[in-house]
Amino acid sequence: MFNNLSEAAIDRIVAACNGDLRGAVKALLLVNEQLEAELAQLYAVTGVVAERSNQRLH
């Protein structure tokens, strides 16, 4: 399911969190939140209507 690039990215993220898996998941959730906020801003600027289910844009 994951390719080597995905595995390497996961390894880098975990390493950046000093091997703390909980910290890595928390960091990814925070980044995802930020990206969703940016996406919402882009939708607002472009006038695109996002279909929202459970408050997620994608």
In the predicted structure, residue 18 carries a pLDDT above the cut 70: yes
What mean pLDDT do residues 25-48 have? 93
Of residues 55, 12, 17, 19, the one with CA closest to residue 36: 55
Q: Which of 26-30, 35-39, 45-49 has the lowest mean pLDDT?
A: 45-49
* pLDDT value at residue 29: 96
Show me where the domains of the chain are located: 4-46
* pLDDT value at residue 30: 96
Distance in angstroms (rounded) separating the CA atoms of residues 33 and 20 = 20
* pLDDT value at residue 5: 86
pTM value is 0.69
Q: Which residue has the tokens 């950046």?
A: 16
* 12-22 core/surface letters (b: 16 or more CB in 10 A; e: else): ebbeebeeeee
